[in-house]
A and B are shown apart, each in its own frame.
Chain A
Amino acid sequence: MASKKKADGKGLPGDAALRKELLHSMLLQRRFEEKVGEAYALGKIGGFCHLYIGQEAVSTGIISMLRPDDYVITTYRDHGQALVRGMTPRSIMAELFGRIDGCSRGKGGSMHLFDRNTNFLGGHGIVGGHVPVAAGVGFAIKYRGGDQVIVCFMGESVVNTGAFHEALNMAALWKLPCIFVIENNKYGMGTAVERAAAIKDLSRRADAYDGMDGEHVDGQDVFAVREAMERALEIARRGPKPVLLEVRTYRYMGHSMSDAVSGTYRTKAELDEYLKRDPINLLKARMLEAGDIDESDVAAMEQEIKTLCQDAWDFADASPEPPLEALYEDVLVDTTS
Chain B
Amino acid sequence: MAIITYREALNQALREEMSRDDRVFLMGEEVAVYNGAYKVSKGLLEEFGEMRVVDTPITELGFAGVGVGAAMVGLRPIVEFMTWNFALLALDQVVNAAAKMLYMSGGQYPMPIVFRGPNGAALQLSAQHSQAWESWLAHIPGLKVVTPGTPYDAKGLLKAAIRDDNPVIMLEGEMLYNTKGEVPAEDYIVPIGKADLKREGEHCSIITNGKMVLVAMNAADQLAKEGIRVDVVDLRTVRPMDVAAITASVRKTNRAVVLEEGWELAGIGAQVVDYIQRECFDDLDAPVVRVHQADVPMPYAKAIEKAAKPDLAKTIAAVKKVMYLG
Interface residues, chain A, with chain B CB atoms under 8 Å away: 46-48, 95, 98-99, 104, 106-109, 111-112, 124-128, 157-158, 160-163, 188-191, 195-197, 264-265, 321-322, 324, 326-328, 331
- The 6 closest A-B CB pairs, nearest first, are A109-B300, A47-B124, A98-B301, A46-B124, A190-B34, A106-B301
| B168 nearest CB across to chain A (Å) | 25
B180: shortest Cβ distance to chain A, in Å?
A: 21
Given A195-B55, A265-B33, A324-B304, output 6 extra A-B contacts at Cβ < 8 Å: A107-B127, A109-B125, A112-B126, A158-B58, A160-B57, A322-B299
Closest residue on chain B to residue A104 by CB atoms: B300
A324 to B306, CA, bound (A): 10
A321–B126 CA distance with the chains assembled, in angstroms = 15
A160 touches B58 (CB 8 A): yes
- CA A327 to CA B297, docked complex, whole Å: 9
Chain B interface, DSSP helix/strand/loop, else mixed: loop
- Can you name the residue of chain A whose Cβ is closest to the Cβ of B85? A126
B125 to chain A: which residues have CB within 8 Å? 47-48, 109
How far apart are the CA atoms of A98 and B129 in the complex, in Å? 16
How near does chain A come to B155, taking the closest CB pair, in angstroms? 25
Q: Which residues of B are at the interface with A, using a C-beta cutoff of 8 A? A: 29-30, 33-34, 37, 55-59, 61-62, 85-86, 88-89, 123-129, 294-297, 299-304, 307-308
List 23 A-B residue pairs with CB atoms under 8 Å apart, sorted by A's residue number: A46-B300, A47-B124, A47-B129, A47-B300, A99-B301, A106-B301, A111-B126, A111-B129, A112-B128, A126-B86, A126-B128, A160-B57, A160-B58, A188-B57, A189-B30, A191-B30, A265-B33, A322-B304, A327-B307, A328-B296, A331-B295, A331-B296, A331-B297
Q: CB-CB < 8 A to A107: which residues of B?
A: 126-127, 299-301
C-alpha spacing A270/B85, complex, angstroms: 33
Q: Could you tell me the distance between the alpha carbons of A124 and B126 in the complex, rounded to whole angstroms?
A: 11
Q: Which residues of B contact A47 (CB under 8 A)?
A: 123-126, 129, 300
In the bound complex, what is the Cα–Cα distance between A108 and B304 (angstroms)? 12
Q: Which of chain B's residues have a CB closer than 8 A to the CB of A196?
A: 55-58
Q: How far is the CB of B202 from chain A (nearest CB, A)?
A: 36
Residue from A48, A106, A158, A327 whose CB has the most chain B CB atoms within 10 Å: A327
Chain B nearest CB: distance from A326 CB in Å?
A: 6
With beta carbons under 8 angstroms apart, the residue of B33, B57, B89, B297 that contacts A157 is: B57
Determine the residue in chain B with the shortest Cβ distance to A47: B124
| Docked CA distance A162–B60 (Å) | 9
Among A112, A128, A331, contact of B58 (Cβ-Cβ < 8 Å): A128
Q: In the assembly, what is the distance between CA of A127 and CA of B124, in Å?
A: 19
A95 to B299, CA, bound (A): 12
Contact present for B59 and A321 (CB under 8 Å) = no
A residues near B294, Cβ cutoff 8 Å: 327-328
Q: Which of B62, B124, B304 contacts A327 (CB 8 A)?
A: B304
The reply to whether B57 and A327 contact each other, CB–CB distance below 8 Å, is no
| CB-based nearest A residue for B299 | A107
Which chain B positions have C-beta within 8 A of A108? 126-127, 300
In the bound complex, CA of A98 to CA of B57 (Å): 32
Give every chain B residue within 8 A of A158 (Cβ-Cβ). 58
Selected from A162, A264, A327, the residue in CB contact (under 8 A) with B59 is A162
